[in-house]
């Protein structure tokens, strides 16, 4: 093995946030503008001797509605006032400003951190008191969400990243922070989908793929990658380790929206699989404000469907009995506005309940080691047999 | 964006396990040899009118010992008989043979699957009865482990993969199934560490790195990658999303063993962090037989240490109180044979208990956004201040 020559540098210790000059992107400048406006509003209220207050769009279920024409979840117009001179609101008012100031510091220094990192960045004991700014992360997370809706900025624009899990391979070349990533040459490991995939981080360079196959689990993804499914079917293959993290959802949205690639999903046949599909398709109820940048209303549910048990001639031993929670969840999901009036979905969920059992994608292995990659998925794609 | 030209192929449906001719690696041939010998032993016992039985190395704690000279966990010589003509053992005897036959099928077809996949592959109702071969995966997993020790084959050699989580960037070029992966050009996402990283899958092509920095969490890894720590310090940067999966541990072992790279670990200062370090260093007690191929006895614990609270001048608000389980776990870990006689570790664990609180790596952000990458780790590396 050859020794690769690399200049060895000694790091310069630095007390400041950054030792290098930061070049702000247009997105960063816009975010800093919003953050500065927020701060200015406090000053201007003070100058007018008015009480400083924020009008925060309400994030409760009552303020979430399903936009039928755009087929995504969105927030209504309700807002909640948060005032500095109100004993019940003063703490959360100050926490909101503290979070804004933390995010400004991140954006200005060209760095990102996790929501846990921001929590620690803001956490301190207020001088001269025993009062802490935040007692735990459960207190800071909703404040970050408030800030997102207040500024109409995605978390990623505030330089906050989520977990990084999920991988990609397939017929696409990306630019990731200056590095060219050819996803058709990523071996068995694949490219780790970053948490922040905004346009200034990830650019699509070349794409010859016809569609995206998104599978639920990394173990299923490994089967598809090993069989070079993406090569045979000229597609992109992704997974999100269960419920996909924000980076994966945003990337699917961009692949669908910018490159017009259809997104096909392969999940377990259980209420959790339906739910993950629903989140990818319409957005999450808790974070409805993100849907326009995250949801993929066109995503198709390729399987597994409740009828597959008979269609694929599976052995009774692969059945996993539904429990009470499963039945309850399935009935809730059947009432989601985007499933409620769809006969296909009503039939699917009714069949699951009638079956009385769940099915995992892995169960298809009983029909052949590569049945799922060589028959199940190709047949459904060819026959255009999916739920929408 | 340019459209990448790719020939579109239509997949050939195939009922057999593989439509392509399989080229077995030397490792595969060895594994098939062991599996065939196992089957032959049944035949030869029958021919000699002897009862077929297996002598399975005992995987209980009583048969695990710490090898002081090699500094790894290893199994003792105790075995347990498993007989076909014994009412208590017949089922597990047949399950063991079924697992062996499933693995042979995998190896011969050049495919791999998860332990859940193998479970489904083996699971069926025995003809003419209501008896199932396996009632759930909790029954098949220990059988797989039995097979590993019986054949002295790692799970990966039996073509079984584990979860894929963990990423890598840095100054190394690999070959992964024919694709060249330059880990210094992997952007913000990084290379997803595969579950199987044996020599016939992953070859090291060029490595200029001086060491490996392994961090516990993906969110901390993102901070180090964003600051291009691996470039400034000429190293490789890995994480394992908490307790590293087998692929990550095996890769660390290979980087240390074949490329002689020191492995430095950065974990939270809590019993869980100590435990993860212990697994990387000495192996896991449950799977002691893997240690010689997985453990890195030379791995160093760079931090966080209990004294860092004072050394780094952290704010009291970052403390997370130890609970009873933490205290119990810490005392257990202090008695591990590889920590028991080390003054540094005894002092470390005593200090944690005296502090009465845990510390997360993320807490260092209160000293500066990049304090951990620009001061904390570089200082410890320079001063060679670590626990061993």
> What topology is assigned to A167-382 in CATH?
Dna Topoisomerase Vi A Subunit; Chain: A, domain 2 (3.40.1360)
Q: How far is B361 from chain A (nearest CA, A)?
A: 9
Residue tagged active-site, from B66, B93, B120, B161: B120
- Stretch B308-337: mean pLDDT: 94
Percent of chain A beyond pLDDT 70? 95
Look at phi and psi of residue B33 and say left if phi exceeds 0, alpha if psi is from -120 to 50, else beta: alpha
- Residue A388: which of A344, A356, A346, A352 has the closest Cα? A344
pLDDT at A337: 87
Q: How far is B61 from chain A (nearest CA, A)?
A: 30
Element (H, E) at A256: helix A246-257
pLDDT at B2: 57
Show Cβ contacts of residue A267 under 8 Å, excluding neighbours closer than 6 positions: A215, A216, A273, A274, A276, A277, A301, A303, A304, A361
Q: What angle do CA B164, A188, B73 make, to 5 degrees?
A: 50
Q: In the predicted model, is pLDDT for residue B107 greater than 80?
A: yes
pLDDT at B17: 62
Quickly state the pLDDT bin for B178 (edges 50, 70, 90). very high
- Which residue in chain B is spatially nearest to A5 when comparing CA positions? B208
What angle do helix axes A246-257 and A271-282 make, rounded to 10 degrees?
60
pLDDT at B14: 39
Percent of chain B beyond pLDDT 90? 76
Of B105, B124, B379, the CB nearest to A317: B124
Model ipTM value: 0.86
Question: Do B87 and B108 touch, CB atoms closer than 8 A?
Answer: no
Q: pLDDT tens digit string along A181-192?
A: 999 999 999 999
Of B194, B231, B318, the CB nearest to A120: B318
Q: DSSP assignment, residue A372? A: I
Q: In the predicted model, is pLDDT for residue B13 greater than 80?
A: no
pLDDT at B292: 87
Quickly state the pLDDT bin for A31 (edges 50, 70, 90). very high
Q: pLDDT tens digit string along B57-101?
A: 988 888 888 888 888 888 889 999 999 999 999 999 999 999 999
Q: pLDDT tens digit string along B349-363?
A: 999 999 999 999 999
Q: In the predicted model, is pLDDT for residue B5 greater than 80?
A: no
Of B172, B227, B366, the CB nearest to A121: B366
Asked if B368 lies within 8 A of A6 by C-beta distance, the reply is no
Question: Do B152 and B38 touch, CB atoms closer than 8 A?
Answer: no
Joined together, the tokens standing for residue A195 give 């948490």
CB pairs under 8 A between A and B: 288
Residues from chain A that touch B15, judged by Cβ atoms under 8 A, are 368
Quickly state the pLDDT bin for B11 (edges 50, 70, 90). very low
Q: How far is B45 from chain A (nearest CA, A)?
A: 31
Q: In the predicted model, is pLDDT for residue A232 greater than 80?
A: yes
Joined together, the tokens standing for residue A76 give 């209504």
Between B6-15, B189-198, B248-257, the lowest mean confidence (pLDDT) is in B6-15
Q: DSSP assignment, residue A373? A: I
Q: Which residue has the higher pLDDT, B383 or B22?
A: B383
Q: In the predicted model, is pLDDT for residue B10 greater than 50?
A: no
Question: Could you give the CA distance from residue B347 to residue B334 in angstroms, rounded to a whole number?
Answer: 10
Residue to mutate among A369, A376, A377, A382, with most B CBs inside 10 A, is A369
| CATH architecture for segment(s) B26-161 | Orthogonal Bundle (1.10)
Asked if A13 lies within 8 A of B374 by C-beta distance, the reply is yes
Residue tagged active-site, from A66, A120, A161, A191: A120
Residue to mutate among B164, B165, B196, with most A CBs inside 10 A, is B164
Q: How far is A248 from chain B (nearest CA, A)?
A: 11
Catalytic residue flag (residue A120): yes
Binding residues of B for Mg(2+): 216, 268
How many of the other CB atoms lie within 10 Å of CB of B298? 14
Asked if B205 lies within 8 A of A1 by C-beta distance, the reply is yes
Joined together, the tokens standing for residue B187 give 């952007």
Q: Give the strand pairing for A357-358 and A300-303.
A: unpaired
Q: pLDDT tens digit string along B276-291?
A: 999 999 988 778 888 8
* Whether residue B143 has a cis bond before it, omega within 30° of 0: no
Question: Could you give the CA distance from residue A114 to residue A133 in angstroms, rounded to a whole number?
Answer: 18
Place of tokens 């409620």: A340
Q: In the predicted model, is pLDDT for residue A7 greater than 50?
A: no
Q: How far is A7 from chain B (nearest CA, A)?
A: 8
What HEC string does chain B produce?
CECCCCCCCCCCCCCCCCCCCCCCCHHHHHHHHHHHHHHHHHHHHHHCCCCCEEEEECCCHHHEEEECCCCEEEECCCEEEEECCCCCCHHHHHHHHHHHHHHHHHHHCCCCEEHHHHHHHHCCECCCCCCECCCCHHHHHHHHHHHHHHHCCCHHHHCEECCCCCEEEECEEEEECCEEEECCCCCCCCEECCCCCCCCCEEEEEECCCEEEEECCHHHHHHHHHCCHHHHCCEEEEECCCCCCHHHHHHHHHHHHCCCCCEEEECCECHHHHHHHHHHHHCCCCCHHHHHHHCCCCCEEEECCCCHHHHCCCCHHHCEECCHHHHHHHHHHHCCHHHHCCHHHHHHHHHHHHHCEEECHHHHHHHCCCHHHHHHHHHHHHCCCCEC
Binding residues of B: 216, 268
Q: In the predicted model, is pLDDT for residue A1 greater than 90?
A: no
Question: Could you give the CA distance from residue B169 to residue B231 in angstroms, rounded to a whole number?
Answer: 10
pLDDT at A11: 40
pLDDT at A12: 40
Asked if B123 lies within 8 A of A318 by C-beta distance, the reply is yes
pLDDT at B239: 96
Q: In the predicted model, is pLDDT for residue A13 greater than 90?
A: no
Domain ranges of chain A: 26-161, 167-382
Q: For residue B328, give Cα distances in angstroms to B319, B339, B356.
A: 19, 16, 12
**First and final C-alpha spacing in chain A:** 51
pLDDT at B4: 56
Q: Which residue has the higher pLDDT, A3 or A87?
A: A87
Asked if A192 lies within 8 A of B194 by C-beta distance, the reply is no
Question: Do A266 and A214 touch, CB atoms closer than 8 A?
Answer: yes
Q: In the predicted model, is pLDDT for residue B219 greater than 60?
A: yes
Quickly state the pLDDT bin for A292 (edges 50, 70, 90). confident
Q: For residue A368, give Cα distances in angstroms to A36, B17, B19, B32.
A: 60, 6, 12, 20
Asked if A234 lies within 8 A of B369 by C-beta distance, the reply is no
Using CB atoms within 10 Å of the CB of residue B42, give its burial: 0 to 12 exposed, 13 to 18 middle, 19+ buried: middle
pLDDT at A163: 81
Helix, strand, coil % in chain A, rounded to nearest 5: 45, 20, 40
Quickly state the pLDDT bin for B372 (edges 50, 70, 90). very high
Joined together, the tokens standing for residue B46 give 């029958």
Q: pLDDT tens digit string along A103-131?
A: 999 999 999 999 999 999 999 888 888 88
Quickly state the pLDDT bin for A286 (edges 50, 70, 90). confident
Question: Could you give the CA distance from residue A136 to residue B144 in angstroms, rounded to a whole number?
Answer: 42
- Stretch A52-71: mean pLDDT: 88
Asked if B11 lies within 8 A of A232 by C-beta distance, the reply is yes
Average pLDDT score, chain A: 91
Q: pLDDT tens digit string along A335-362?
A: 998 899 999 999 999 999 999 999 999 9
Residues from chain A that touch B241, judged by Cβ atoms under 8 A, are 165
Question: Could you give the CA distance from residue A202 to residue A29 in angstroms, rounded to a whole number?
Answer: 18
Show Cβ contacts of residue B8 under 8 Å, excluding neighbours closer than 6 positions: A210, A234
Asked if B189 lies within 8 A of A178 by C-beta distance, the reply is no
Average pLDDT score, chain B: 91
Q: In the predicted model, is pLDDT for residue A287 greater than 90?
A: no
């Amino acid at each position: 093995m050859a020794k690769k020559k690399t200049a060895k540098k000694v790091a310069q210790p630095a007390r400041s946030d950054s030792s290098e000059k930061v070049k702000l992107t247009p997105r960063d400048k816009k975010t800093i503008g919003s953050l500065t406006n927020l701060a200015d509003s406090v000053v201007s209220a003070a100058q007018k001797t008015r009480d400083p207050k924020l009008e925060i769009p309400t994030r409760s279920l009552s303020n979430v509605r399903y936009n039928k024409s755009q087929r995504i979840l969105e927030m209504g117009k309700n807002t909640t006032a948060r005032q500095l001179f109100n004993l019940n609101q003063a703490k959360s008012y100050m926490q909101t400003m503290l979070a804004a100031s933390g995010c400004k510091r991140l954006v200005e220094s060209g760095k990102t951190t996790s929501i846990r990192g921001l929590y620690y960045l803001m956490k301190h004991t207020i001088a001269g008191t025993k009062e802490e700014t935040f007692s735990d992360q459960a207190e800071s997370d909703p404040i970050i969400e408030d800030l997102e809706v207040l500024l109409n900025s995605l978390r990623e624009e505030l330089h906050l990243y989520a977990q990084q899990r999920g991988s990609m391979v397939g017929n696409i070349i990306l630019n990731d922070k200056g590095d060219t990533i050819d996803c058709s040459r990523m071996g068995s490991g694949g490219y780790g989908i970053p948490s922040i995939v905004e346009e200034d981080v990830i650019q699509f360079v070349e794409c010859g793929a016809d569609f995206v196959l998104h599978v639920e689990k990394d173990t299923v993804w490994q089967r598809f990658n090993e069989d070079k499914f993406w090569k045979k079917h000229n597609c992109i293959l992704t997974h999100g380790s269960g419920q996909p993290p924000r980076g994966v959802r945003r990337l699917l949205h961009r692949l669908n929206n910018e490159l017009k690639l259809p997104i096909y999903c392969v999940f377990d046949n259980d209420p959790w699989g339906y739910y993950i599909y629903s989140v990818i398709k319409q957005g999450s109820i808790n974070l409805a404000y993100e849907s326009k940048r995250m949801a993929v209303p066109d995503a198709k549910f390729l399987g597994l469907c409740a009828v597959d048990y008979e269609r694929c001639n599976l052995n009774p031993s692969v059945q996993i009995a539904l429990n009470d929670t499963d039945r309850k969840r399935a009935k809730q999901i059947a009432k989601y506005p985007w499933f409620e009036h769809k006969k296909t979905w009503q039939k699917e969920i009714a069949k699951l309940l009638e079956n009385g059992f769940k099915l995992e994608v892995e169960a298809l292995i009983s029909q052949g080691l590569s049945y799922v990659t060589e028959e199940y998925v190709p047949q459904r794609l060819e026959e255009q047999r999916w739920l929408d």
